[in-house]
């Protein structure tokens, strides 16, 4: 791809030997706020461009329609849609340099390719100047000059794009965790008429030797897009392109200008206090307002809501000097069980609702998670299949049985949540490939040390034989020690007792792989049994699954069940016969068992302490089944061979000498 781009540009340079002006590189970047790989690739692209020099390139980021939700695309879909079609873009992240064939930004945009474009010359010279008027309209003056001694018509299209240089959200607007976006295209204008929505550009005719063609228009205040995040970040990219070859012949950008002074500049941050622990609902909302304007602010009205409910307003009166900050507290309130998303807003200052951000001042939402006050009865079973998905995604953190919590708190659903396999063409990614969903710990895309918790609501345990079952699938990246722990608390999370702790090779169910892991078959999975008899009969028992990232590969969790363990459970399996030979075993043992119908049983072996020492998924058919197990690495002692199916569990005792 890189060679194609450079050779095309070289040919273009050879055809313009009479050029007098240096070429300005144009980077068209295709990305999306719910694209996981984009979150990793975009900072690398930004770093490359920043090193090249902000004044030395024109960048236009097209926020496209897939793979999930993106409010920037929804604000102006026509522009990205046309450019996607124009270049034949089929996936993101993607990048085109100077109208060349698109490809990976790390390949298409490098120090070398940028320098190659900048070293070329062109007969076209462009100047673009923007002016904010007192009525908040914008006047744009564009001059395109032919600096050569002959008429030039290599470019037949002129494009004018409104760019918001930096778009910042208080919390990630999509599912990939990005909160800051650069050079986002917000609108496109017809250079000849000034009309908006001109995603296909305007015609550019031949320009005589030494002549200048001027394009001047004013965008009325009412027609400045209301979805702009910050007026001060608006600039315009102008570029000339050949509609057939797609080669871009020159570009320029206007400088973001000073806006009229009747809109206040300010910022704010959350400064609330909340009770600690999973069962403390106390909460005092608050924000800190910072006056970034030159005038003193004497009144500020702020508000908050919880989960989009009724807004609560608070008014501060006093004096906030230019550059000063003021904490503003609301009356104390209480959080609710489950997830509470607290949204804050500054609605006015000095009696005005007009801020440099036309949507008002948003403050990063805060998220708090609390357990229900009452215990739920066992047995408890959670298979993840009924959780409602977030609109436009295959993710969910909405369970009646448990809450999701992360440290840091900004780990997004794309990195830790219930994942629906069919939504992303992964197929049946549930436990043992028997269902569509499981919980994904996306360690592959986490930098390391993040703690991802799935905390189950308080339970009243069985009177005897309490047992936790769950299945997991995991493979290492190379040798990273991603970790899964299971902890139990009887004091609502004040203290925890560990009952399961595996990492790295001890946790993996398949050999290591450097490709991002998604389970694809029943054999990917292992079933785990944990003895919780120490908590028999207790109420308010909380079980926590904690995954800790080592920047390795993905972990999947499913089929979580808390119940009373029994040696034999009803109907089909109560007549299941198990024979083990030899017994006592030494190097190996062969277990034979019969089942009454086609099932998918799982075999687990536990020692006399109730610790699981082996899992063996097998495909069972009606009648006699047989499995050979290597016992050479088993310490001498008493073991229990469990055959588990959807119908129940049957157990056979054996000895290893």
Considering 223, 253, 283, which residue would you say is the last residue of a domain? 253
Closest CA to 301 of 332, 363, 347, 266: 347
Q: Per the domain annotation, does 260 fall within a domain?
A: no
3-state secondary structure of 125: strand
Mean pLDDT score of the chain:
89
- pLDDT band with cut points at 50, 70 and 90 for residue 4: very low
- Of 318, 337, 369, the residue that ends a domain is 369
Give the confidence band of 522 by pLDDT, cuts at 50, 70, 90.
confident
Cα–Cα distance, 66 to 60 (Å, whole number): 18
How far is 656 from 210, CA to CA, in rounded Å? 95
Ranges of H-type helices in 151-220? none
Here the CATH number for the domain that contains residue 389 is 2.60.120.200
Instruction: Compute the average pLDDT of residues 573-585.
Output: 75
Task: Find where tokens 């295709």 sit.
Answer: 30
Instruction: State the average pLDDT over residues 576-580.
Output: 79
* Measured distance CA(383)–CA(430) in Å, rounded: 8
Alpha-carbon distance of 338 to 401, in angstroms, equals: 10
Residues 522 and 581 in one domain: no
User: 3-state DSSP call for residue 72?
Assistant: helix
pLDDT of residue 454: 97
Query: Same structural domain for residues 321 and 393?
Result: no
Within 8 A by CB and 6+ apart from 491, the residues are 540
pLDDT for 508 beyond 50: yes
Please report which confidence band the pLDDT of residue 239 belongs to, taking 50, 70 and 90 as the band edges.
very high
Residue 614: how many other CB atoms lie within 10 Å: 17
Average of pLDDT values for 535-563? 96
Of 369, 398, 415, the one marking the end of a domain is 369
CB burial of 271-299 (b: ≥16 within 10 Å; e: otherwise) equals bbebeeebbebebebbbebbbebeeebee
Pairing assessment for the beta strands 542-548 and 526-531 based on DSSP bridges: unpaired
244 part of a folded domain:
yes
**Distance between CA atoms of residues 75 and 72, nearest Å:** 5
Same domain, 381 and 413: yes
Given this model, what pLDDT does residue 646 score?
A: 56
The percent of residues above 90 in pLDDT, for the chain, comes to 67
Residue 44 inside a domain? The answer is yes
**CATH code at position 217:** 2.60.40.10
State the CATH number of the domain containing residue 625: 2.60.40.2550
pLDDT, tens digit, 9 for 90 and up, residues 625-650: 788 888 888 898 888 888 776 556 67
Cα 420 to Cα 392: distance, rounded to the nearest angstrom: 12
The pair of three-digit structure tokens given for residue 228, joined into one six-digit string: 């702009």
Same domain, 134 and 188: yes
SS3 422: helix
Model confidence at 131, pLDDT cuts 50, 70, 90, reads very high
In a domain, 494, yes or no: yes
pLDDT digits (tens, 9 = 90+) for 341-389: 899 999 999 988 778 877 678 787 888 999 999 999 999 999 999 999 9
What pLDDT does residue 379 have? Answer: 92
**Maximum average pLDDT range among 15-19, 47-51, 618-622:** 47-51
Check residues 31 and 6 and name the one with the higher pLDDT. Answer: 31
Work out how many domains the chain is built from and give that number: 4
Strands 459-460 and 376-377: parallel
CA distance 114 to 536: 68
Whether the per-residue pLDDT at 506 is higher than 80: the answer is yes
- The reply to whether 387 and 364 lie within a common domain is no
Per-residue confidence band for 338, with pLDDT thresholds at 50, 70 and 90: confident
3-state secondary structure 566-616: CCCCCHHHHCCCEEEECCCECCEEEEEEEECCCCCCEEEEEECCCCEEEEE
User: Residue 329: pLDDT above 70?
Assistant: yes
Within a domain: residue 259?
Answer: no
Over residues 351-361, the pLDDT tens digits come to 887 788 776 78
Q: Where does the pLDDT of residue 327 fall: very low under 50, low under 70, confident under 90, or very high at 90 and above?
A: very high
**Are residue 247 and residue 126 in the same domain, yes or no?**
yes
Q: What is the pLDDT of residue 478?
A: 92
Any domain includes 261: no
The reply to whether 82 and 217 lie within a common domain is yes
User: Is 291 a residue whose pLDDT tops 90?
Assistant: yes
The most confident of the ranges 300-304, 345-349, 390-394 is: 300-304
The whole domain housing 363 covers 266-369
165 and 136 within one domain: yes
């Amino acid at each position: 791809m890189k060679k194609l781009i450079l050779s095309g540009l070289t040919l273009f340079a050879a055809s313009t030997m009479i050029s007098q002006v240096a070429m300005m590189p144009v980077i068209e970047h295709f990305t999306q706020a719910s694209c996981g790989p984009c979150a990793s690739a975009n900072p690398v692209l930004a770093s490359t461009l920043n090193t090249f020099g902000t004044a030395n390139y024109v960048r236009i980021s097209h926020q496209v329609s897939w793979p999930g939700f993106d409010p920037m695309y929804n604000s102006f879909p026509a522009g990205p849609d046309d450019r996607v079609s124009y270049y034949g873009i089929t996936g993101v992240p993607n990048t085109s340099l100077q109208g060349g064939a698109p490809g990976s930004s790390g390949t298409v945009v490098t120090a070398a390719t940028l320098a190659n474009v900048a070293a070329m010359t062109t007969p076209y010279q462009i100047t673009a100047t923007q002016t904010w008027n007192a009525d908040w309209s914008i006047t744009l003056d564009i001059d395109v000059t032919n600096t050569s001694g002959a008429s030039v018509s290599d470019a037949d299209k002129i494009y004018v794009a409104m760019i918001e240089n930096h778009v910042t959200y208080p919390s990630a607007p999509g599912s990939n965790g990005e909160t800051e976006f650069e050079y986002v295209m917000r609108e496109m204008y017809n250079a000849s008429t000034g009309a908006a929505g001109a995603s296909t550009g305007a015609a550019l005719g031949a320009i005589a030797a030494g002549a200048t063609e001027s394009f001047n228009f004013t965008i009325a205040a009412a027609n400045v897009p209301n979805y702009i995040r910050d007026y001060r970040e608006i600039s315009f990219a102008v570029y000339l392109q050949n509609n057939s070859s797609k080669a871009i012949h020159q570009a320029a950008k206007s400088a973001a200008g000073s806006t009229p002074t009747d809109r206040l500049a300010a910022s704010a941050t959350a400064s609330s206090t909340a009770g600690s622990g999973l069962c403390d609902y106390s909460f005092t909302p608050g924000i800190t307002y910072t006056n970034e304007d030159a005038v003193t602010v004497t009144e500020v009205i702020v508000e908050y809501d919880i989960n989009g409910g009724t807004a609560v307003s608070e008014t501060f009166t006093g004096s906030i000097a230019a550059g000063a900050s003021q904490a503003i507290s609301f009356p104390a309130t209480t959080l609710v069980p489950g997830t509470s998303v607290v949204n804050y807003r500054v609605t006015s200052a000095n009696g005005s609702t007009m801020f440099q951000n036309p949507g008002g001042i948003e403050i990063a939402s805060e998220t708090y998670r609390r357990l229900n006050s009452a215990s739920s009865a066992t047995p408890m079973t959670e298979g993840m299949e009924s959780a409602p998905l977030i609109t436009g995604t295959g993710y969910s953190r909405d369970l009646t049985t448990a809450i999701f919590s992360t440290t840091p708190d900004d780990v997004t659903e794309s990195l830790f949540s219930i994942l629906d396999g069919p939504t992303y063409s992964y197929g049946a990614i549930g436990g043992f490939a028997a269902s569509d969903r499981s919980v994904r710990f996306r360690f592959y895309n986490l930098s390391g040390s993040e703690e991802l918790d799935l905390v189950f609501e308080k339970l009243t345990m069985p009177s005897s034989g309490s047992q936790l079952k769950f299945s997991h699938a995991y493979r290492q990246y190379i040798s990273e020690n991603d970790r899964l722990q299971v902890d139990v608390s009887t004091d609502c999370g004040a203290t925890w007792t560990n009952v399961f702790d595996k990492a790295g090779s001890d946790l993996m169910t398949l050999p290591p792989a450097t490709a991002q892991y998604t389970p694809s078959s029943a054999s990917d999975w292992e079933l785990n049994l944990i003895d919780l008899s120490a908590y028999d009969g207790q109420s308010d028992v909380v079980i926590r699954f904690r995954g800790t990232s080592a920047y390795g590969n993905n972990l999947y969790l499913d089929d979580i069940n808390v119940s009373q363990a029994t040696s034999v459970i009803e109907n089909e399996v109560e007549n299941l016969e198990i024979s083990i030979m030899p017994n006592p075993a030494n190097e190996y043992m062969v277990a034979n068992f019969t089942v009454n119908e086609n099932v998918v049983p799982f075999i687990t072996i536990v020692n006399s302490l109730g610790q699981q020492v082996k899992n063996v998924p097998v495909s069972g058919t009606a009648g006699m089944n047989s499995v050979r197990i290597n016992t050479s690495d088993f310490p001498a002692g008493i073991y229990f061979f469990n055959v588990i199916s959807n119908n129940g569990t049957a157990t056979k005792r054996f000895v290893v000498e």
